[in-house]
């Protein structure tokens, strides 16, 4: 094991190297671009041998790594904001073909350059697993774990992990780099997988022919696979924690001081880091507020939240994206998760959209309002813009 | 937790300095974080970076709003009150400036230290890259980190000969720094200066970006217009005398004109502070 003070994007490139990726393809867009620059440096220095395919846009980069994964090369791509939107179309195909690809999404908003989660949130229907990451160490660790999750035969789904651009992608902090041999023991070489359903035709097709007259079948199979991802994610994170001594909750959620909490905040990405400081300050004032860092948004940690909901008075949900006319995606997921069980109030907070700085003091106010609701006092409005 | 703010210009290495500080801290067994403030900065534009050093892993992701220390790597920015603003009471402001700390007009409940980092950089590196030349002074004035850890960190970023040159700059600034002394001016003048301006050069005054300024020898100038063609910022006006005249607010001092002049009639002269 060694260490280096490195920026988030270098931690990502290091994770790609440790996962022994064979093929990468990406199109430059700030703040993602330096990932591929770091990969090039590693190649030039003779540290990492892989093939990089230059392309004319994100759509093609997704198609390239899709094909590479299909023929048996562990592959990687990365993008940001509008680049991800341009990748929308082939992303569905990657997931439908059940190709275990891993993609880093360095969050950049779609209404400007600064970060929010609107890019990855807009891809919820593509049938990928969506993980959200808070710090540079977690980027490196998650990158390796993502391959293990994606390549698990029970799910075989592509994984996108997102981390906030600028505030994390360019911030340098100490990162422990596990030894390559240790990572090799954790992540065995990737072997190409056969088509998800056997195709008797000759020549066989990959992904499309379900040999079934029911056109709904591909959706049903896909949905069922996505639903089985939760135990796999938990297993992989538990194994990582055991081998490398760094844990991120149970992989789905990473709770912080919630055991005796009356009110619990939820946040994703870098906001969760600042929220930990906010919780410490609230606790120092005797205010029993906890935090759940949501690590997996898709699948949503329903079972965990149903348990937590039984013992608290209110959730304060921080969303870093908003679907106009619908609202915050986490807030919606939480209400849907807890529907039909008597439980806490669910307050919503929009924060950090368009890259607006989320300060610890902002989160303290969110915590205080949620605590008020938890104590049964009336709070208004139910959902607010911070 | 110790929080540091760094002011500089694109190209002076403020971002690298923040990473060297963060690496040096980790070398001493502490956790750290180096945050660059990214907008549309480029070479010459004022920019800001931040460092946090703590005993435990730093989780905060907001920018540093009330630093314990403020470092300014640029002599012209060092005269701006903004580099001293929002520093914690009793905090230290370290300026790259040839003046004595007692002569600084910066106000507030702050201590001021000065070091002529530009001259040190020109002597040791041959270029006005002041990031390492200010770090030796920082260590001396604040006692936050050890010189050895700074040097160790520098070699990680600049291995070999370049690293050794930078270490020489650190040593020199450690020896030459003056202060810190309590600021004499108590009340800050109410001037709002944004030291992190993005935007486009053509729309704003970039005269403060210059370390060197072009000076035309009109006797040598043949009026061929080569400088006028190559100037990337349209900062040369063609006069009635058929000679180039610099538009002060647009010229960044890049030196392209002097480089392109076929008769070497343009000289880049160090800006007086």
Q: Give the C-alpha separation, A263 to A259, whole Å.
A: 11
Name the band, by pLDDT with cuts 50, 70 and 90, for residue A299: very high
**Does the beta-carbon distance from B33 to A171 stay under 8 Å?**
yes
Place of tokens 């040190």: B120
Which among B26, B59, B63 is the nearest to A357, CB-wise? B63
Q: How far apart are CA A109 and CA A151, in angstroms?
A: 30
**What is the residue whose two structure tokens read 């201590």?**
B111
Tokens at B84, concatenated = 């001293």
Mutate to test the interface with B, among A172, A247, A270 (most CBs of B within 10 A): A172
Task: Domain ranges for chain B, please list them.
Answer: 2-182, 201-270
Mean pLDDT in residue range A306-323: 96
What does A94-121 look like in DSSP terms, one character per residue?
HHHTT---EEEEEE--SSSSS--THHHH
- Looking at residue B191, its pLDDT comes to 58
Look at residue B38 in the predicted model and tell me its pLDDT.
Answer: 64
Q: What is the pLDDT of residue B45?
A: 73
| Shortest Cα distance, chain A CAs vs residue B14, angstroms | 13
Residue A88: CB atoms within 10 A of its CB come to 15
H or E stretch at A349: strand A345-350
Residue ranges of alpha helices (H) inside chain A are 8-18, 33-44, 58-70, 81-86, 88-96, 118-121, 136-150, 180-186, 217-227, 229-244, 270-284, 302-309, 329-338, 360-374
Partner residues linked to A28 by β-bridges: none
How many beta carbons lie within 10 A of that of residue B211, not counting itself?
22
Contact residues for B53 (Cβ-Cβ < 8 A; gap 6+): B1, B2, B4, B21, B22, B25, B30, B31, B32, B144, B145
Q: What are B241's two structure tokens?
A: 């005398």
Q: Please name the fold of domain A2-192+224-243.
A: Rossmann fold (3.40.50)
Tell me whether the CATH fold assigned to A2-192+224-243 matches the one assigned to A253-385: yes
Residues of chain B with pLDDT under 70: 38-43, 189-204, 273
Put simply, the answer to whether A357 touches B32 (Cβ < 8 Å) is no
Output the six-digit token pair for A204: 């066989």
What is the Cα–Cα distance from B229 to A181, expressed in whole angstroms?
58
Which of B34, B38, B58 has the CB atom closest to A166's CB atom?
A: B38
Q: Where are the domains of chain A?
A: 2-192+224-243, 253-385
A174/B61 CB distance under 8 A: no
- Nearest by CB to residue B32, choosing from A4, A167, A173, is A173
* Residues 6 or more apart whose Cβ sits within 8 Å of residue A97: A66, A70, A195, A196, A206, A207
CATH 3.40.50.920 matches A253-385: yes
Q: Which residue of B has its CA nearest to A115?
A: B38
Closest Cβ opposite residue A5 in set B32, B36, B65: B32
**Do B1 and B57 form a contact (C-beta atoms < 8 A)?**
no
- B49 to A62, A334, B16, B60, B79: CA distances (angstroms): 35, 37, 9, 15, 18
Q: Token pair for residue A1?
A: 């094991």
Give the distance from CA A43 to its chain's centroid: 27
Query: Does position A145 have pLDDT exceeding 70, yes or no?
Result: yes
State residue B189's pLDDT score: 67
- What number of CA atoms fall less than 13 Å from residue A307's CA on the CB side? 8
Whether the CB of B35 is below 8 Å from some CB of chain A: the reply is yes
CB atoms within 10 A of CB A263: 29
- In CATH terms, B201-270 corresponds, of 2.40.40.20, 3.40.50.970, 3.30.70.20, 3.40.50.720, to 3.30.70.20
Please tell me whether residue A15 adopts helix, strand or coil conformation.
helix
> B247 is written with which tokens?
């538009």
Asked if B199 and B251 count as a contact pair (C-beta separation under 8 A), the reply is no
Cβ–Cβ of A273/B33 closer than 8 Å? no
In B, minimum Cα distance to A356 occurs at B62
The answer to whether B16 faces chain A, any CB pair under 8 Å, is no
Residue A135 CA from chain centroid, whole number: 12
For the purposes of burial, counting CB atoms within 10 Å of the CB of B56, is it exposed (0-12), middle (13-18) or buried (19 or more)? Answer: exposed
**A88, A98, A80, A93: which is closest to A26 by C-alpha?**
A80
Query: Which residues of chain A neighbour B156 with C-beta distances below 8 Å?
Result: 4
* Of A207, A226, A82, the residue nearest A149 (C-alpha): A226
Characterise A116 by phi-psi region: left (phi > 0), alpha (psi -120 to 50), beta (else): beta
Write down how long chain B is.
Answer: 273
Judged on CB neighbours under 10 Å (0-12, 13-18, 19+), A209 is middle
DSSP, collapsed to helix, strand or coil, labels residue B236 as strand
Say whether B26 and A5 touch across the interface (CB within 8 A).
yes
Residue entry with tokens 């209400």: A335
Instruction: Sort out which chain B residues have CB atoms less than 8 A from A170's CB and list them.
Output: 35-36, 38
pLDDT of residue B154: 96
- Over chain A, what is the mean pLDDT? 94
The dihedrals phi and psi of A53, each to the nearest 5 degrees, come to -105, 115
In angstroms, the separation between the Cα of residue A213 and the nearest Cα of chain B is: 52
Q: Which residues of chain B neighbour A167 with C-beta distances below 8 Å?
A: 35, 61
Q: Are B36 and A170 in contact (CB under 8 A)?
A: yes
Distance CA(B206)–CA(B95), nearest Å, equals 21
pLDDT tens per residue, range A163-219:
999 999 999 999 999 999 999 999 999 998 877 765 566 666 676 655 566 778 888
Interface of B with A in 38-67 (CB under 8 A): 38, 57-63, 65
Confidence at residue B198, expressed as pLDDT on a 0 to 100 scale: 43
- In A, minimum Cα distance to B53 occurs at A173
Does pLDDT of A381 surpass 50? Answer: yes
Distance from C-alpha of B174 to C-alpha of B190, rounded to nearest angstrom: 33
Please tell me the predicted confidence (pLDDT) of residue A204. 66
For residue A366, the chain B residues in CB contact (below 8 A) are none
Cβ–Cβ below 8 Å for A170 and B38: yes
Report how far residue A197's alpha carbon sits from residue B120's, in angstroms, rounded to the nearest whole number: 70
Cβ contact (<8 Å) for A274 and B36? no
B60 neighbourhood in chain A, CB within 8 Å: 273-274, 277, 360
Residue A24 near residue A71, CB atoms below 8 Å: no
Q: What is the CATH number of domain B2-182?
A: 3.40.920.10
List of chain A residues whose C-beta atoms are within 8 Å of the C-beta of residue B59: 135, 273-274, 276-277
- Position A60 pLDDT exceeds 60: yes
Strands B31-36 and A345-350: unpaired
């Amino acid at each position: 094991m060694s260490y280096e003070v490195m920026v988030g994007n270098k931690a990502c490139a290091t994770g790609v190297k440790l996962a022994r990726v064979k093929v990468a393809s990406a199109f430059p867009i700030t703040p993602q671009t330096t990932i591929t620059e770091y990969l090039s440096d590693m190649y030039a220095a003779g540290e990492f041998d892989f093939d990089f395919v230059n392309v004319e846009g994100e759509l093609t980069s997704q198609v390239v790594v899709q094909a590479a994964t299909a023929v048996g090369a562990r592959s990687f791509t990365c993008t940001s904001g509008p680049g991800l939107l341009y990748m929308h179309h082939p992303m569905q195909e990657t997931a439908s073909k059940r190709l275990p690809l891993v993609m880093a999404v360095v969050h950049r908003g779609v209404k400007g350059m600064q970060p929010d989660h609107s890019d990855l949130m807009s891809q919820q229907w593509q049938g990928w697993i969506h993980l959200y990451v808070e710090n540079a160490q977690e980027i490196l660790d998650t990158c390796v774990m993502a391959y293990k999750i994606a390549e698990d035969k029970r799910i075989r789904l592509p994984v996108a992990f997102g981390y906030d651009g600028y505030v994390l992608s360019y911030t340098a902090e100490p990162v422990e780099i596990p030894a390559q041999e240790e990572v090799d023991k954790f992540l065995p070489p990737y072997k190409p997988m056969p088509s998800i359903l056997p195709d008797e035709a000759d020549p066989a097709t990959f992904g499309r022919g379900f040999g079934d007259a029911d056109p709904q079948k591909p959706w049903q199979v896909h949905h069922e696979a996505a639903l089985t991802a939760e135990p796999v994610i938990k297993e992989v994170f538990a194994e990582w924690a055991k081998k490398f001594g760094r844990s991120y909750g149970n992989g789905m959620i990473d709770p912080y001081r919630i055991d005796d909490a009356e009110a619990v905040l939820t946040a994703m990405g870098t906001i969760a880091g600042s929220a930990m400081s906010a919780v410490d300050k609230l606790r120092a004032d005797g205010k029993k507020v906890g935090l759940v860092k949501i690590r997996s948004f898709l699948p949503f940690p329903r079972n965990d939240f149903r348990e937590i909901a039984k013992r608290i008075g209110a959730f304060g949900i921080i969303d870093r994206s908003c679907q106009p006319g619908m609202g915050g995606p986490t807030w919606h997921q939480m209400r849907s998760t807890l529907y039909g069980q008597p439980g806490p109030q669910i307050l919503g907070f929009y924060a950090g959209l368009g890259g607006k700085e989320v300060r610890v003091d902002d989160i303290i106010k969110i915590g205080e309002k949620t605590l008020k609701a938890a104590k049964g006092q009336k709070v208004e409005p139910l959902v607010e813009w911070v | 937790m110790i929080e540091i703010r760094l002011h500089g210009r694109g190209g002076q290495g403020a971002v690298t300095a923040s990473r060297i500080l963060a690496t040096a801290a980790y070398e001493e067994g502490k956790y750290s974080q180096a945050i660059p403030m990214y907008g549309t900065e480029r070479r010459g534009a004022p920019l800001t970076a931040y460092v946090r050093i703590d005993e435990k892993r730093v989780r905060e992701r907001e920018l540093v709003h009330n630093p314990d220390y403020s470092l300014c790597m640029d002599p012209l920015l060092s005269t701006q009150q903004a580099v001293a603003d929002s520093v914690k009471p009793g905090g230290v402001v370290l300026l790259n400036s040839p003046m004595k700390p007692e002569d600084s007009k910066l106000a507030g409940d702050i201590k001021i230290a000065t070091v002529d980092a530009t001259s040190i950089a020109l002597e040791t590196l041959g270029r006005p890259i002041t990031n390492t030349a200010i770090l030796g002074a920082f260590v001396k004035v604040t006692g936050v980190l050890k010189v050895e850890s700074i040097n160790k960190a520098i070699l990680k970023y600049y291995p070999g000969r370049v690293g050794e040159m930078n270490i020489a700059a650190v040593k020199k600034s450690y020896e030459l720094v003056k202060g810190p002394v309590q600021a004499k001016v108590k009340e800050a003048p109410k001037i709002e200066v944004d030291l992190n301006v993005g935007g486009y050069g053509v729309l704003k005054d970039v005269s403060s970006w210059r370390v060197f300024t072009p000076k035309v020898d009109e006797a040598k100038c043949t009026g061929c217009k080569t400088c006028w063609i190559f100037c990337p910022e349209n900062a040369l006006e063609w006069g009635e005398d058929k000679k180039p005249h610099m538009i002060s607010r647009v010229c960044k001092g890049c030196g392209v004109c002097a480089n392109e002049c076929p008769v070497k009639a343009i000289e880049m002269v160090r800006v007086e502070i």
